[in-house]
């Protein structure tokens, strides 16, 4: 996504590298001011809420400026790098003295207005609409502007300092203008009964933050709920940030994949009523089949492990009970039954938990499924999972057994109706053919959304998975 600021400089904007993503963090710059770049050359690596992605530049030229340093979180549609092109490239090739700027070099007013939705290099950028961000007014210093907005918000809520002169009038959206806020903030305001039109924004470009909403409903210190506002007393000087012993504590910023995972899990846990059922099963025959498949020439070079047969067992159970493969459409008040299975596999990575999925897994043969699982796992471990690979999942498997854990109560991946947790496979005493013998045993746990999956359906699915793992020949008889 680019913008022409004059005849020789192009501004490359942060693209939408995944459907619905609104921001990304710049992890690493591969270029610096003065470097020559060519069309398709990767200039930086960014991390979204779903994955790390490398961004190529779509034209030739010389880097004029990097608008954000590494570690900055940038909104989609914001210019991140300026490149001199055409006749201006030669002049820009001279030593460039510009340091990395703290803010974008261009403003909204300087950008041309695209007609409708404009295609960009990766995904889609932000289109012009009635909710387009407005440039901030007032102080040019971002820190000073934010402090001023915070002071105004505090004073409006009755616990800020009272200025001897008339306080500055906060910028309130004109009638018909929609306040700028992200969907989670709008939901928070709705839940708390706050009219966003009355909230003074403190975020960049007039965006209302969660803190602004909380401040709008927070009573003054010591004020009883419902009490009439009293005269504003001078507030004490701002408290210094709480200190802590760095030798005893480490504070890690919550961002990227971790922040997205946290939001998704909280949303799922408090939206879908979870029910979890358990079953302990003898998987000795399944383990023997795994060893036999490893010797089969058809599986040479493929990843063959218990997860392969567990995945196939779940796919068989879904085919026998298709209603489990569904989602809840709150807006339409409908249950959407999927006639395809995008099988998600929870994977732990250095950046956090991700759940890529195998598209149309129900149509794959066992060797094909083995290949897909191997590619999915290796790609996730290398940090190369694309945002598209994590979208559209219908049901998920999480293998907590690799950590020696017996089982768990997994939380649903948002938008899905079921998730299967697989515990550690251990040698245990088991009654087999009337005698107590050492057998390989595991515990399975199935969590499901009780809005659309009742106890009978959930129990049937879990029982079918256990039956296949106990007698793998059912993979053929139930096919």
Active site residues: 450
240: Cβ contacts below 8 Å, ≥ 6 apart: none
Radius of gyration (C-alpha) of the chain in whole angstroms? 28
Return the closest-CA partner of residue 395 out of 382, 383, 405, 410. 410
CA distance readout (Å), 189 to 152, 199, 261, 330: 19, 10, 22, 19
Compute the C-alpha angle 463/465/466, nearest 5°: 65
| Strand pairing category for 180-181 and 207-208 | parallel
**β-bridge partners, 29:** 44
Strand, coil or helix: 237: coil
Burial class (CB in 10 A: 0-12, 13-18, 19+), 463: middle
CB 144 within 8 A of CB 150: no
Of 404, 410, 408, 396, the closest CA to residue 425 belongs to 404
Give the residue among 63, 62, 51 at the shortest CA–CA distance from 122: 51
Contacts of 232 (CB under 8 A, 6+ apart): 155, 158, 159, 160, 161, 162
Residue bearing tokens 């300087």: 110
Residue 56: φ, ψ to 5°: -90, 150
* Coil/strand/helix, residue 57: coil
Quick one: how far is CA 175 from the chain centroid? 34
Across the strands, what pairs with 336?
327
DSSP codes joined into one string, 89-125: HHHHTSPP-PPPPSS-SS-GGGS---SSPPB-SSSB-
What are the structure tokens assigned to 82, written together? 């300026």
């Amino acid at each position: 996504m680019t913008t022409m600021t004059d005849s020789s400089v192009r501004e490359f904007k942060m693209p939408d590298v995944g459907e619905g993503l609104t921001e990304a963090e710049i992890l690493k710059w591969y270029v610096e001011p003065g470097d020559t770049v060519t069309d398709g050359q990767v200039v930086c690596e960014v991390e979204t809420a779903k994955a790390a992605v490398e961004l190529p530049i779509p034209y030739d030229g010389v880097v004029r400026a990097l608008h954000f340093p590494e570690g900055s979180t940038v909104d989609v549609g914001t210019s991140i790098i300026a490149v001199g092109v055409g006749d201006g490239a030669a002049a820009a090739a001279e030593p460039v003295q510009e340091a990395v700027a703290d803010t974008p070099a261009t403003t909204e007013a300087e950008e041309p207005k695209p007609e409708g939705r404009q295609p960009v290099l990766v995904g889609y950028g932000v289109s012009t609409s009635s909710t387009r961000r407005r440039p901030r007014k007032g102080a040019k210093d971002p820190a000073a502007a934010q402090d001023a907005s915070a002071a105004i918000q505090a004073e409006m809520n009755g616990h800020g300092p009272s200025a001897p002169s008339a306080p500055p009038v906060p910028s309130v959206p004109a009638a018909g203008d929609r306040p700028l806020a992200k969907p989670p903030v709008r939901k928070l305001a709705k839940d708390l009964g706050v009219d966003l039109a009355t909230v003074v924004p403190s975020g960049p470009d007039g965006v209302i933050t969660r803190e602004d909403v909380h401040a709008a409903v927070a009573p003054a210190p010591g004020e009883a709920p419902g009490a009439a506002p009293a005269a504003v007393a001078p507030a004490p000087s701002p408290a210094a940030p709480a200190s802590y012993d760095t030798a005893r504590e480490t504070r890690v910023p919550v961002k990227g994949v971790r922040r997205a995972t946290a939001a998704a899990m909280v949303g799922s846990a408090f939206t879908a009523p979870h029910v979890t059922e358990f079953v302990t099963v003898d998987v000795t025959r399944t383990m023997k089949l795994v060893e036999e498949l490893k010797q089969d020439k058809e599986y040479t070079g493929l990843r063959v492990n218990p997860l392969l047969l567990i995945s196939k067992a779940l796919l068989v159970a879904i085919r026998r009970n298709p209603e489990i493969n569904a989602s809840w459409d709150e807006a339409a008040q409908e249950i959407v039954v999927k006639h395809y299975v995008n099988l998600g596999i929870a994977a732990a990575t250095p950046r956090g938990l991700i759940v890529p999925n195998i598209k149309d897994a129900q149509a794959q043969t066992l060797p094909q499924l083995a290949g897909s699982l191997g590619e999915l796992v290796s790609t996730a471990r290398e940090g190369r999972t694309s945002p598209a690979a994590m979208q559209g999942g219908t049901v998920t498997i999480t293998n907590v057994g690799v950590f020696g854990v017996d089982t768990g109560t997994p939380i649903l991946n948002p938008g899905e109706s079921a998730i299967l947790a697989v515990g550690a496979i251990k040698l245990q005493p088991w009654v087999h053919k009337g005698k107590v013998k050492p057998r390989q045993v595991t515990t399975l746990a199935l969590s499901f959304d009780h809005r659309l999956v009742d106890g009978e359906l959930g129990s049937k699915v879990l029982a079918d998975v256990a039956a296949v793992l106990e007698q793998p020949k059912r993979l053929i008889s139930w096919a």
